[in-house]
Amino acid sequence: MAIFNAFLLFAQAAVYFTVMMALLRARRVIGIGVFMCALGVMHFLETYLASIFYIELPFGIVSPGSTVLFSGKLLMILLLYIREDALVVRQPIYGLLIGNFLIVALVMILRNHETIVVTEGRSPDIAFVDEMGFLMVWGTLLLFIDAIAIIVLYERIGKWFAGNLGLRFLVCGALVLTFDQAGFFLALHYVSSAPWHVFFGGWVAKMVATIVYSGLLLAYLKYFDNEDSWLSNRPLRDVFQVLTYRERYKQLLEASIRDHLTGTLDRSQYAEKGPGIIAKNLEEKRPVSLLVIDIDHFKLVNDRYGHQAGDEVLKLVARLLTENLRTDDHLYRVGGEEFVLLCERLPVDGAASLADRLRRMIERFSKVYLPEKVTVSIGVSSAPEDGRTLEALFKRADLRLYEAKKGGRNQVCGPSPGA
């Protein structure tokens, strides 16, 4: 009987691995969500089996839930990380953790119902649900730790086993599943007084499961895939910061159009996108305004405190401007200490009011965060009153900026008499 049980366990592991690897391989076609749902849907079953369903093997008593399902899930999480990255693999880990806490919270509410018996002899066993809830949450917390540990360990030992994916897989699985067996057994022993020989049998079974899954992986790589495409050696510090290729591309694209110091859009974007923004708003008969913002006496800041202090001034001003943007505003750094704020759907009076609010805010915050008070002067223009092109609007706003500077700085000059 023990031999037959071992054969059934191997059959379960083979079926589990085959289906999950097929889903992982087909993720580009059917979506990664299918793999993740299949990964998580058996969590209750594996916890249930691990708590009460045991079989005898030649080396001891084990549970298929812990041996096949949990071990398989952890190793599948590692394979998902290898094929994708940490950003993707965090999703099922966090989903399982949150989902199990949600189950416990809902059960705490459900237990207050006054239930009725619909079928004779069948009534809810809340004590069993409580026990399962505790084990599921504890098991998921362990999985959370296990998943992080196995990924970090996989990268850590890469320099020693870089050319042998199967060996890295085997070592990581054996070490982390040893820790997991100890952690889950302690909870099981506390809840159901499981005897200590169950710990030993379960540990041996998990080690055998790791060997079986590693063998199945090597067979898969030999007949269905190329091992070289699976090998990765990411720097350990980057393990949980790695993004998908699509997001890397978007970040690179975003970085290429932004000023490296302030994070605002750079002058090239102003020249490329600005005319289209003006034309679109005029075509749709919507107001559009342009603010030229210049930091007063910026050269004196550099001369007195150094260029590093000057950079801090630029970053603070840019941050304050950015934090106060509307969804229809576009902020550009067009010169050393000069910014342009292009505001769609904003008429002249609104632009003048916005400019004065920004001026006062920068003055106020600079007193707190900078060595001395920093002020800005702002020139305002609006379309179509001041022109219908980007060049015309900038020229008019720049002339008004000069008037603000000439009038004593730290002020706004615009087309509205109240500016």
User: What does pLDDT average to over the chain?
Assistant: 83
Contact 348, 370 (CB under 8 A): no
* pLDDT for residue 183 is more than 90: no
Phi, psi of 413 (to 5 degrees): -125, 120
Q: Are residues 61 and 163 in the same domain?
A: yes
Q: Are residues 298 and 228 in the same domain?
A: no
Q: Are residues 294 and 389 in the same domain?
A: yes
CA distance linking residue 416 with residue 336, whole number of Å:
28
Last residue of a domain, one of 216, 248, 280: 248
**Most confident of the following: 148-152, 322-326, 405-409:** 405-409
Judging by DSSP bridges, how do beta strands 376-383 and 329-333 pair with one another? unpaired
Own/partner contacts of 121-129, CB < 8 Å, gap of 24 or more, are: none
Task: Judge whether 136 lies within some domain.
Answer: yes
Q: Are residues 203 and 102 in the same domain?
A: yes
Q: Does residue 249 sit in helix, strand or coil?
A: helix
Contact 63, 55 (CB under 8 A): yes
pLDDT value of residue 362: 94
CA distance linking residue 338 with residue 378, whole number of Å:
10
CA distance linking residue 371 with residue 360, whole number of Å:
17
Last residue of a domain, one of 248, 280, 306: 248
Of 160-169, 322-331, 388-397, minimum mean pLDDT range? 160-169
Task: Judge whether 42 lies within some domain.
Answer: yes
Q: What percent of the chain has pLDDT over 90?
A: 34
Q: Number of helices and strands (H, E) in the chain?
A: 17, 7
Q: What is the mean pLDDT of residues 6-10?
A: 88
pLDDT value of residue 244: 44
Last residue of a domain, one of 230, 248, 266: 248
Q: Are residues 215 and 361 in the same domain?
A: no
Q: Does residue 38 sit in helix, strand or coil?
A: helix
Own/partner contacts of 119-123, CB < 8 Å, gap of 24 or more, are: none
Q: Are residues 313 and 201 in the same domain?
A: no
Q: What is the pLDDT of residues 124-174, one digit of tens each?
A: 777 777 767 777 777 778 888 888 888 888 878 877 776 677 788 889 889
Q: Are residues 217 and 265 in the same domain?
A: no
Task: Judge whether 365 lies within some domain.
Answer: yes
- The sign of the torsion formed by the CA atoms of 401, 406, 412, 417 equals negative
Task: Judge whether 120 lies within some domain.
Answer: no
* pLDDT for residue 31 is more than 90: no
Q: What is the mean pLDDT of residues 193-200?
A: 75
Return the higher-pLDDT residue of 337 and 41. 337
Element (H, E) at 409: none
Peptide bond into 384 cis (omega under 30): yes
Q: Are residues 311 and 329 in the same domain?
A: yes
Domain count, the chain: 2
CA distance linking residue 158 with residue 232, whole number of Å:
8
CA distance linking residue 81 with residue 39, whole number of Å:
14
Q: What is the mean pLDDT of residues 55-84?
A: 84
Q: Are residues 189 and 331 in the same domain?
A: no
Q: Are residues 162 and 292 in the same domain?
A: no
Q: What is the pLDDT of residues 212-271, one digit of tens each?
A: 999 998 888 888 776 555 555 544 444 444 434 444 545 555 666 888 899 999 999 999
Q: Domain containing 313 — which CATH number?
A: 3.30.70.270
* pLDDT for residue 284 is more than 90: yes
Return the higher-pLDDT residue of 198 and 94. 94
* pLDDT for residue 274 is more than 70: yes
pLDDT value of residue 246: 43
In this structure, what DSSP letter does residue 266 have? -
* pLDDT tier for residue 383 given thresholds of 50, 70 and 90: very high
Q: What is the mean pLDDT of residues 178-190?
A: 80
* pLDDT for residue 117 is more than 60: yes
Whether the full predicted model's pTM is greater than 0.85, yes or no, is: no
Task: Judge whether 303 lies within some domain.
Answer: yes
Task: Judge whether 418 lies within some domain.
Answer: no
The residues that bridge with 329 in the sheet, in sequence order, are 343
Q: What is the mean pLDDT of residues 377-406?
A: 95
Distance of CA 225 to the CA centre of its chain: 29
CA distance linking residue 169 with residue 298, whole number of Å:
58
pLDDT value of residue 255: 62
Matching residue, tokens 């749902």: 37
pLDDT value of residue 368: 83
CA distance linking residue 249 with residue 283, whole number of Å:
33
Matching residue, tokens 């590093």: 308
**Most confident of the following: 39-48, 79-88, 271-280:** 271-280
Q: Are residues 263 and 391 in the same domain?
A: yes
Q: Are residues 188 and 50 in the same domain?
A: yes
pLDDT value of residue 251: 56
Domain holding 13, by residue range, is 2-112+125-248
User: Which tokens go with 287?
Assistant: 């107001």
Task: Judge whether 117 lies within some domain.
Answer: no
Task: Judge whether 419 lies within some domain.
Answer: no
Vertex 369, ends 366 and 375: CA angle to 5°? Answer: 10
